[in-house]
């Protein structure tokens, strides 16, 4: 539907044959805005016909046969853009001019709709102000980098300015030169009536996929200037002489956040997609966007947290997380689910899965087509999975030792229920880290209950903090400590926000544009629904994890003190399979490999799946989507050498892991029926949402 500025330059079908227009943007004229025109079918291009003089009274009350001509959305967008650029110097008159352009050709029905929308906006505005007023006093420590980082950057800038003034001057001259060139180019394009701007490579950025970013001089100028500004800001920070790599990575992250935040796509007046939608819907999209914003603010206690998925589209246990099973054990911290067998015989050694408690277990059981739970049961495993409690403030003093104790208790229950002395275990993400601590503890106690262990996207060596480096420095962690002191919890909302700003264009700005500026409802997408169903962390456990494991890297260094033992990564000696994901930004595969390489096991297998933290794990064979690398126990020559020597296979890693697991699962025995249990899967704890 997008048109260039020259769309108004086509011949208009006018009585008497007027001259062809130039390529300049269309301006309202008496013929197109004030006088009645003969009714004509609406076409893709604006078509207007002059009419003979008529009675003023008839002009004031258009009839179906005497209605004003309505320009197409493309032409109206040209008018909006032209009005925007032409009246920029007129200050407060610009919004009214834009409104006049949008309202050109309005009918009585449109006027009524406009009045209704204005009334809705007034009501929504009051609700928005009321919701925002409920936001608690912000905690500065978690809102932005601390003053120490800003002071470091300022000192580095002054040092660069004093020691390398020519370099700073060169950067400034290049910036102003690029800016003037961009301004001159757009002026010449407008003067020539040129419908298209020069080609550039920014179209590769999906934010600028609308053809108007390339073809319309106004939008192309805005886009190019944004890219010039972004490059200048990044160049300026790259020139800074910072004290260490940590400061460099933090400054680079902060710079990227500013650059992404200031993108023209994030503002209505400079987003052609949003303007087109507003014109096509006669402003309805903007009202719906405001409704979406108010809904999100009301749901999140005054905070603006954009919804990524339709919360009403799914119900756990009905159309998501539906595998057949029962809860066989319950404690204040977790429920233990046993799934019903799908085969007449099962492997003798049971399988127990520990999912992360940052989110909920049904990521492994979204729907039958991609359910790892269903697949494992079909492979003949007696499968148990833990469903963690979503803690409230009463769990403030629950620590890592309580989670390790829960691991041991769940293992005991599985052994009792299956009459087996040993079992195979799986840990995913933070649950894999805690499983590694548990395995080290069992080793020091001389307990051999674990037959084999599998780690999904697990970090055990935090020497490289990766993309989390900005969130693992003292200023931010101290802010989290204040948050824990205030609430007794590391709240789900804060963790979700932190994760989102690792990918802000995909998880913050893009969804906000679609929801608030385009007026779209969040999609009914099971993975995004699960992503939004996050949980709180107990305060004590969160600080032990952040201070002891992430900041001090104690498990891989001097040892992590827990339950009277100093646990070390080398104490993990059971047969081990680690599954990582190639583009995982939360648990980078190279860092996972570094941890596994230090483990004491003599039987280690490493699998590297294509894709990211979730899609690489939830990768069923039926999809035939992502391939994987698999290698053995040679961890002596670095991760790159391992990858080069490993074997690559197309498709899911599930079958190859299934073979590895079956070799360690014992003989086949009659299937174990869990009976009635306490209540059906997925249990009760999974339905508790974070406040």
Domain holding 674, by residue range, is: 325-687
378/249 same-domain check: no
52/144 same-domain check: no
Over residues 404-426, the mean pLDDT reads 98
49/197 same-domain check: no
Q: Is residue 95 part of a domain?
A: yes
Q: Is residue 488 part of a domain?
A: yes
93/165 same-domain check: no
How would you label 426-464 residue by residue, b for 16+ Cβ within 10 Å and e otherwise? bbbbbbbbbbbbbbbbbbeeeeebbbbbbbbbbbbbbee
Q: Say yes or no to pLDDT of 649 above 50.
A: yes
Give backbone dihedrals phi and psi of 679, rounded to 5 degrees, phi first.
-170, 165
Q: Where a domain ends, among 251, 270, 289? A: 270
- The 10s digit of each residue's pLDDT in 455-470 is 999 999 999 988 899 8
Q: Is residue 84 part of a domain?
A: yes
β-pair partners for 605:
577
Put simply, whether the predicted model's pTM sits higher than 0.85 gets the answer no
Q: What is the mean pLDDT of the chain?
A: 85
- Provide DSSP, 98-113: HHHHHHTT--HHHHHH
3-state DSSP assignment of residue 26: coil
Distance CA 62, CA 640 (A): 74
pLDDT at 27: 39
37/170 same-domain check: no
607/481 same-domain check: yes
Distance CA 84, CA 113 (A): 24
Q: Where a domain ends, among 105, 124, 151? A: 105
- The 10s digit of each residue's pLDDT in 266-294 is 999 999 999 999 999 989 999 999 999 99
Q: Say yes or no to pLDDT of 11 above 70.
A: no
245/371 same-domain check: no
266/345 same-domain check: no
pLDDT at 74: 52
Q: pLDDT band at residue 49, thresholds of 50, 70 and 90?
A: very low
Q: Which residues contact 188 (CB under 8 A, 6 or more apart)?
A: 194
Q: Say yes or no to pLDDT of 613 above 80.
A: yes
Mean pLDDT highest for which of 163-167, 277-281, 322-326, 630-634? Answer: 322-326
Q: Is residue 672 part of a domain?
A: yes
Q: Is residue 316 part of a domain?
A: no
Give the helix, strand, coil percentages of the chain, each rounded to 5: 50, 10, 40
pLDDT at 84: 46
208/329 same-domain check: no
Q: How far is CA 138 from CA 134, 142, 560, in A?
A: 11, 8, 33
573/424 same-domain check: yes
In 3D space, the residue among 448, 418, 349, 343 whose CA is nearest the CA of residue 666 turns out to be: 349
- The 10s digit of each residue's pLDDT in 501-516 is 999 999 999 999 999 9
Q: Where a domain ends, among 85, 105, 125? A: 105
**Is the pLDDT higher at 648 or at 79?**
648
261/337 same-domain check: no
Catalytic residue among 429, 550, 577, 581: 429
Cis peptide bond prior to 682, omega within 30° of 0: yes
Q: Indicate if 581 belongs to the active site.
A: no
449/556 same-domain check: yes
- Pairing assessment for the beta strands 668-670 and 489-490 based on DSSP bridges: unpaired
- The CATH number covering residue 675 comes to 3.40.50.1820
Q: Is residue 320 part of a domain?
A: no
Distance CA 190, CA 219 (A): 12
Q: Is residue 112 part of a domain?
A: no
pLDDT at 196: 61
- The 10s digit of each residue's pLDDT in 188-210 is 888 877 656 566 666 678 999 99
Q: Is residue 48 part of a domain?
A: yes
Domain count, the chain: 3
């Amino acid at each position: 539907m997008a048109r260039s500025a020259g769309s108004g330059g086509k011949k208009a079908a006018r009585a008497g044959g007027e001259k062809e227009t130039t390529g300049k943007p269309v301006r309202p004229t008496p013929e197109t805005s004030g006088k009645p025109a003969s009714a004509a079918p609406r076409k893709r291009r604006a078509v207007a016909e002059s009419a003979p003089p008529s009675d003023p009274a008839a002009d004031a009350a258009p009839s179906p046969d005497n209605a004003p001509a309505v320009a197409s959305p493309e032409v109206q967008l040209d008018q909006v853009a032209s009005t925007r650029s032409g009246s920029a110097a007129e200050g407060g008159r610009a919004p009214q001019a834009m409104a006049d352009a949008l309202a050109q050709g309005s009918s009585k029905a449109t006027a009524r709709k406009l009045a209704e929308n204005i009334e809705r906006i007034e009501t929504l505005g009051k609700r928005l102000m009321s919701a925002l007023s409920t936001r608690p006093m912000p905690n500065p420590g978690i809102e932005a980098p601390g003053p120490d980082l800003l002071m470091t950057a300022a000192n580095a800038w002054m040092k660069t300015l004093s020691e390398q003034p020519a370099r700073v001057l060169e950067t400034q001259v290049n910036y102003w030169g690029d800016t003037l060139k961009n301004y001159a180019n757009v002026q010449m394009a407008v003067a020539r009536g040129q419908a298209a701007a020069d080609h550039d490579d920014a179209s590769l950025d999906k934010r600028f996929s609308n053809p108007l970013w390339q073809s319309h001089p106004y939008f192309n100028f805005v886009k190019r200037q944004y890219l010039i500004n972004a490059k200048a800001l990044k160049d300026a920070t790259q020139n800074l002489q910072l004290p260490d790599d940590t400061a460099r990575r933090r400054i680079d992250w902060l710079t990227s956040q500013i650059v992404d935040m200031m993108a023209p796509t994030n503002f209505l007046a400079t987003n052609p997609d949003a303007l087109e939608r507003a014109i096509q819907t006669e402003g309805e999209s903007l009202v719906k966007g405001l409704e979406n914003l108010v809904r999100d603010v009301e749901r999140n206690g005054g905070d603006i947290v954009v919804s990524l998925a339709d919360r009403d589209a799914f119900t756990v246990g009905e159309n998501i997380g539906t595998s057949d099973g029962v809860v066989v054990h319950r404690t204040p911290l977790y429920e233990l689910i046993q799934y019903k067998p799908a085969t007449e015989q099962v492997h003798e050694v049971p399988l127990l899965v520990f999912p992360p408690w940052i989110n909920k277990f049904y990521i492994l059981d979204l729907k039958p087509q991609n359910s790892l739970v269903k697949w494992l049961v079909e492979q003949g495993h007696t499968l148990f999975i833990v469903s963690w409690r979503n803690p409230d403030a009463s769990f403030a003093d629950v620590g890592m030792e309580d989670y390790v104790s829960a691991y041991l208790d769940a293992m005991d229950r599985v052994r009792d229920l299956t009459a087996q002395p040993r079992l195979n275990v799986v840990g995913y993400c933070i649950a894999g880290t805690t499983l590694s601590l548990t395995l080290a503890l069992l080793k020091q106690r001389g307990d051999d209950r674990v037959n084999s262990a599998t780690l999904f996207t697990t970090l055990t060596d935090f020497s490289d903090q990766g993309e989390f480096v900005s969130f693992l420095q003292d200023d931010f962690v101290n802010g989290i400590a204040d948050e824990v002191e205030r609430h007794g919890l590391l709240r789900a909302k804060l963790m979700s926000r932190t994760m989102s700003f690792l990918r802000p264009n995909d998880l913050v700005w893009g969804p906000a544009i679609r929801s608030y500026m385009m007026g779209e409802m969040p999609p009914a997408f099971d993975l995004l629904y699960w992503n939004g169903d996050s949980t709180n962390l107990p305060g004590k456990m969160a600080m032990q994890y952040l201070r002891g494991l992430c900041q001090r890297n104690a498990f891989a260094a001097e040892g992590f003190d827990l339950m009277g033992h100093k646990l070390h990564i080398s104490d993990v000696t059971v047969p081990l399979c680690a599954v990582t994901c190639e583009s995982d930004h939360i648990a980078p595969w190279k860092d996972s490999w570094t941890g596994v390489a230090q483990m004491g096991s003599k039987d280690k297998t490493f699998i590297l799946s294509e894709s990211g933290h979730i899609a690489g794990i939830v990768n069923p064979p039926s999809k035939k989507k992502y391939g994987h690398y698999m290698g053995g126990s040679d961890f002596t020559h670095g991760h790159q050498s391992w990858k080069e020597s490993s074997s690559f296979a197309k498709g899911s890693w599930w079958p190859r892991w299934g073979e590895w697991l079956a070799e360690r699962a014992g003989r086949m025995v009659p299937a174990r029926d869990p009976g009635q249990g306490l209540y059906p899967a997925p249990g009760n704890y999974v339905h508790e949402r974070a406040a």
